[in-house]
Amino acid sequence: MRFLGYKLKSLREALNLSLPDLSEMTDIGPGHLSDIENDNKNPRPKTVERLCKALKMDEQYFYIEDSRLPADLLPDMPEEVQKFIMQGENTPWLVLTEKAKREGVSREMLEKMLDLLTTDKRK
């Protein structure tokens, strides 16, 4: 799978980070980050790990074409809601919800699916 550099750029811009800001957070040079964003270089796994840790994003976001930023889905959300949703652990749920919507899964069925997936089976 190829790292989708444009997604790194979209996320960085959505978080109002400059290349130097992200460079400081990850200890990856701004020029190298620019090359990754422009798909001139495919990052090594360790680089991806540092990016994900700094941005609090799940690695899958950068490899799956149809995963989108919440800001792309709901641009009029209040800033505090955007920040909450953009936390890495929420990304898989957003992808699932978007796919279900595209596939015509009803809201009720999606809620049942999410309940099943999030119910603690240890109780």
Q: Is the pLDDT of residue 73 over 50?
A: no
* pLDDT confidence of residue 12: 87
* pLDDT confidence of residue 45: 94
Q: Is the pLDDT of residue 58 over 90?
A: no
For the residues of the chain, what is the DSSP string, one character each?
----HHHHHHHHHHTT--HHHHHHHHT--HHHHHHHHTTSSPPPHHHHHHHHHHHT--GGGGT-TT---HHHH-TTS-HHHHHHHTSGGGHHHHHHHHHHHHHT--HHHHHHHHHHHHS-TT-
At 59-72, the pLDDT tens digits run: 888 888 766 555 55
The confidence band for 31, taking pLDDT boundaries of 50, 70 and 90, is: very high
Q: Could you give the domains of the chain?
A: 5-118 (1.10.260.40)
Higher pLDDT, 24 or 73: 24
Q: Is the pLDDT of residue 3 over 80?
A: yes
For the segment 45-68, the average pLDDT, to the nearest whole number, is 85
